[in-house]
């Protein structure tokens, strides 16, 4: 899909100055000749861009553009097409044609629908280990919105992280815009950590990077044992940093990130100005390099002075190549694995090329374990359903699990306390036996009787025959297993049941979902589901934009958004009901939605204060969402007030993921695992079967998958970190949260209007990774990556030994 809009978006991001020197030639191949506007764009970029007219399906045309010599092939989808399935099918055919012509070329494809991802797996030469990747717009778009239900504004923060923008303030912009714009200049980069980091724990390394190098270290790549694939761990709790570890950073440019590679404890310990951290030539540095590459045996304590290897200094580059291959103990592993890891470990040679390797043309292709473990030794292999734990089909019509017969010799592997299926077979998501849609439908009166509070309302516009948007991608991140069951937010979908029935097969195994058969434009329906007490109201449309006037594609979403903002509500406080035993039964008695009684927040009196996120098809329609903003119609989406506040999301922000993935493949893996709540390739294979999620029995391995961090938002108004709200500095908050709670702060969500007048706006905006001397306010909310807390499991029967004691 080659149009002026898609090409200009793509080139602006791909050829951005922050990417270091991008010496890549971009060749476009399209059936039709370019129109005048597009031709002008190609001429402006004539040094780096060429256009060929032809078809990807024709091998002669593929030869003309020399596909076999290309570094990668990118297939762009038409996001505004009438029939998303047909668009995906056409693009998958294009991939088949490319792979048929040259099976080892790297392909990155945009797909509209999640369920079409499965067909790519059928292409014999499709291989994620070689860098092939798919950017599924529905999965990521709904995943971003889902994370915004947990931490409002998060979608904006993440979208700004992978788009390439430079930060320029000007005196005539408002203060809040300057703070916001500084954050939009941040991007995600990877860099190998210097030898000085070896042996540190992740929190120590992250603190050092933040305080000394002014970088935010989000995640590290943990090498697999015995040559299995490495995996990316986000804010890992107990991980020690080994030699040649790849770090994932948030920073303003690729140059800044080099500090992590140049940092040397001996030379830079006392430097206060982070810009002075440059490559040093001290012997400690070289000695540590030698140790990292296995040439010199390290002393036990890394703080001891390193062996003086100055004599080797000249030959270091030459020796490094063999350093890895001959490890002691005769562990010559298959060359393929060593070579694959070599790509990641070579930045030691010639520091000038170190980061170019990472951020530039041929990215490090070293996929993480979260991607697709075909390896029998990988950590996922023991969770594949075997004949013993049949995948969740042993459920009778009443939703009661049937006993599974287990031979005596196998029974000792099982702890019968744990055989109730609570999670899916990968241990990544909460699971419940399939429920009929009819059992989950509420009418208006039932909804009003149900005490809904702290829930997520999904306003869904769809015709009975609209293309499926894949609601599962919205609900699954909210059902990740790193939440306890009582922390899961109830999801209430308001929309046409005829459409939801077609989606239901994919939702039936996810707990705590209700459906109100009504219209998102009906105020009575919205009042019935207590929209004023919800934690987030999501407005989605599955309708196909008409060909006549694409700007009208968002008319329902905009009307619904304005309708809610115009409503007023009684000044009520929600109260939760419980049954006699003080719990909510697992069979989901609809009158009691949440677990233990928690203090409920006061409902919004005005609809304008209801937390809301609206999905737009067309960027320019964002001007109609907020009547009180002064955005010009021509303002770019990321500069508009609704986007900066996290109340609007458009699929166009995902365009820049194409170039991000090309330059840095691991970035997509990181974003995907953060956004989807932990979808793994194993899960993708299960979902590709089309039978939905499978339940699985809890084993210690599958329960250990719950121990992963998640996105959250904490208040500085009260609680343990409230002291920083009183004129504290962001840097102090960062260190305290990391040391005391293992939480990694990644940004702030601040009131746009900080005055205390009664008509002050309640809108907040996003500040990504503020500087360490940034002044905090008591009303600020902080975006954090928080650790899983195993101690909070809510146990219905206090007398018995809990089921999850060792989870």
Q: pLDDT tens, 200-247?
A: 999 999 999 998 889 999 999 888 776 667 788 899 888 889 888 899
Helix or strand or coil: residue 746? strand
CA nearest neighbour of 150 among 766, 675, 807, 703? 675
Confidence of residue 603 (pLDDT cuts 50, 70, 90): low
DSSP 454-499: S-EEEEEE--TTSPP--THHHHGGGGBTTS-GGGPPPEEEEE-HHH
- Which pLDDT value is given to residue 91? 94
Does the pLDDT value for residue 759 go beyond 70?
no
Q: Which residues pair with 134 in a beta bridge?
A: 109
- Which pLDDT value is given to residue 523? 92
CA nearest neighbour of 391 among 694, 701, 693? 694
Q: pLDDT tens, 646-701?
A: 999 988 888 888 888 888 888 888 888 888 887 777 788 888 777 778 888 888 88
Judging by DSSP bridges, how do beta strands 491-495 and 513-517 pair with one another?
parallel
Does the pLDDT value for residue 410 go beyond 70?
no
Q: Could you give the C-alpha distances from 571 to 356, 453, 757, in angstroms and in order?
A: 58, 14, 20
Does the pLDDT value for residue 151 go beyond 50?
yes
CA nearest neighbour of 775 among 716, 711, 718? 716
Distance CA 69, CA 230 (A): 29
Residues 430, 483 contacting (CB under 8 angstroms): yes
Contacts of 126 (CB under 8 A, 6+ apart): 95, 99, 107, 120, 132
CA nearest neighbour of 154 among 656, 735, 781? 781
Choose the weakest-confidence range: 20-29, 54-63, 525-534. Answer: 20-29
Does the pLDDT value for residue 420 go beyond 90?
no
Does the pLDDT value for residue 372 go beyond 50?
no
pTM value is 0.78
Confidence of residue 354 (pLDDT cuts 50, 70, 90): very low
Residue 631 has a CB neighbour count (10 Å cut-off) of: 18
Q: Which letter does DSSP use for residue 621 in this model?
A: G
- Which pLDDT value is given to residue 183? 87
Does the pLDDT value for residue 339 go beyond 70?
no
Distance CA 658, CA 654 (A): 8
- Which pLDDT value is given to residue 290? 52
- Which pLDDT value is given to residue 547? 72
CA nearest neighbour of 111 among 88, 79, 83, 85? 88
Mean pLDDT for the stretch of residues 116-138: 88
Task: Give the whole-number percent of the chain exceeding pLDDT 70.
Answer: 74
Q: Which domains does the chain have, with CATH numbers?
A: 4-131 (3.40.50.720), 162-173+181-327+335-359 (3.30.70.1450), 437-471+483-653 (3.40.50.720), 710-786 (3.30.70.1450)
Q: pLDDT tens, 216-225?
A: 999 998 887 7
Choose the weakest-confidence range: 102-106, 262-266, 346-350, 704-708. Answer: 346-350
CA nearest neighbour of 348 among 326, 370, 322, 372? 322
- Which pLDDT value is given to residue 150? 93
């Amino acid at each position: 899909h080659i149009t002026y809009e898609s090409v200009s978006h793509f080139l602006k991001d791909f050829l951005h100055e922050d990417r270091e020197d991008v010496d890549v030639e971009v060749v476009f191949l399209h059936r039709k000749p370019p129109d005048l506007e597009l031709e002008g764009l190609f001429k402006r970029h004539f040094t780096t861009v060429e256009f060929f007219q032809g078809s990807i399906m024709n091998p002669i045309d593929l030869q003309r553009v020399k596909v076999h010599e290309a570094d990668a092939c990118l297939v762009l989808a038409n996001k505004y097409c009438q029939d998303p399935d047909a668009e995906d099918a056409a693009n998958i055919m294009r991939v088949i044609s490319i792979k048929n012509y040259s099976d080892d070329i790297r392909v990155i494809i945009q797909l509209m629908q999640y369920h079409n991802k499965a067909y790519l797996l059928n292409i014999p030469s499709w291989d994620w280990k070689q860098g092939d990747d798919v950017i599924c717009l529905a999965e990521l778009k709904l995943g971003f919105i889902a994370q915004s239900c947990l931490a409002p504004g998060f979608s904006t923060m993440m979208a700004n992280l992978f788009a390439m923008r430079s930060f320029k303030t000007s005196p005539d912009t408002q203060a809040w815009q300057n703070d916001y714009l500084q954050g939009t200049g941040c991007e995600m980069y990877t860099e190998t950590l210097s030898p000085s980091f070896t042996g540190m724990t992740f929190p120590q390394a992250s603190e050092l990077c933040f305080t000394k190098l002014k970088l935010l270290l989000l995640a590290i790549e943990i090498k697999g044992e015995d040559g299995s694939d490495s995996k990316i761990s986000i804010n890992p709790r107990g991980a020690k940093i080994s030699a040649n570890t790849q770090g994932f950073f948030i920073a303003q440019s690729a140059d800044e990130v080099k500090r992590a590679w140049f940092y040397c404890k001996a030379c830079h310990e006392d430097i206060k100005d982070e810009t002075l951290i440059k490559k040093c030539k001290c012997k400690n540095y070289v000695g540590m390099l030698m140790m990292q590459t296995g040439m010199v045996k390290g002393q036990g304590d890394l703080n001891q002075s390193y062996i003086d290897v100055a004599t080797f200094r000249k030959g270091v580059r030459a020796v490094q190549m063999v350093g890895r291959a001959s490890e002691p103990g005769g562990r010559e592993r298959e060359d393929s694995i060593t070579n694959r890891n070599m790509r990641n470990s070579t930045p030691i040679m010639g520091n000038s090329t170190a980061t170019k390797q990472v951020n530039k043309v041929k990215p490090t292709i070293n996929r993480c374990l979260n991607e697709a473990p075909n390896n029998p030794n990988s950590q996922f292999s023991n969770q594949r359903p075997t004949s013993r734990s049949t995948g969740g089909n042993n459920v009778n019509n009443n939703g009661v699990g049937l006993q599974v017969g287990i031979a005596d010799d196998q029974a000792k592997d099982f702890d019968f306390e744990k055989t109730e299926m609570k999670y899916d077979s990968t241990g990544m998501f909460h699971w419940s036996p399939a429920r009929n849609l009819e059992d989950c439908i509420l009418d208006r009166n039932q909804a009003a009787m149900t005490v809904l509070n702290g829930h997520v309302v999904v306003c869904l516009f769809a015709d009975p025959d609209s293309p499926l948007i894949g609601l599962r991608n919205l609900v699954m991140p909210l059902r990740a297993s790193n939440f306890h069951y009582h922390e899961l937010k109830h999801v209430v979908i308001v929309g046409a049941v005829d459409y939801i029935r077609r989606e239901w097969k994919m939702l039936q195994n996810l707990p705590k979902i209700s459906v109100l058969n009504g219209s998102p434009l009906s105020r009575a329906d919205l009042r019935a589901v207590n929209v004023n007490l919800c934690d987030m109201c999501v407005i989605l449309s599955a309708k196909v934009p008409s060909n006549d006037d694409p700007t009208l594609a968002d008319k329902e979403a905009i009307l619904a958004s304005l309708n809610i903002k115009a409503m007023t509500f009684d000044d009520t406080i929600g109260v939760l009901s419980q049954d006699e035993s003080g719990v909510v039964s697992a069979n989901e008695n609809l009158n009691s939605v949440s677990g233990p009684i928690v203090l409920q927040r006061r409902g919004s009196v005005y609809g304008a204060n209801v937390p809301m996120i609206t999905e737009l098809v067309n960027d320019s329609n964002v001007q109609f969402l907020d009547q009180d903003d002064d955005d010009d119609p021509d303002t770019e989406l990321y500069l508009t007030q609704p986007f900066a506040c996290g109340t609007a999301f458009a699929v166009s922000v995902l365009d820049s993921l194409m170039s991000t993935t090309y330059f840095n493949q691991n970035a997509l893996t990181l974003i995907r695992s953060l956004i989807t709540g932990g979808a793994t390739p194993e899960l993708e294979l299960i979902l590709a079967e089309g039978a939905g999620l499978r339940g699985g029995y809890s084993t210690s391995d599958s329960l250990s998958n719950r121990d992963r961090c998640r996105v959250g938002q904490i208040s500085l108004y009260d609680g343990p970190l409230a002291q920083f709200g009183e004129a504290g500095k962001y840097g102090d908050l960062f260190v305290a949260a990391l040391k005391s709670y293992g939480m990694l702060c990644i940004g702030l969500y601040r009131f746009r209007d900080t005055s205390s007048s009664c008509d002050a706006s309640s809108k907040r905006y996003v500040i990504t990774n503020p500087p360490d001397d940034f002044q905090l306010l008591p009303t600020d909310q902080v975006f954090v990556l928080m650790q899983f807390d195993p101690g909070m499991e809510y146990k219905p029967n206090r007398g018995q030994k809990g089921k999850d004691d060792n989870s």
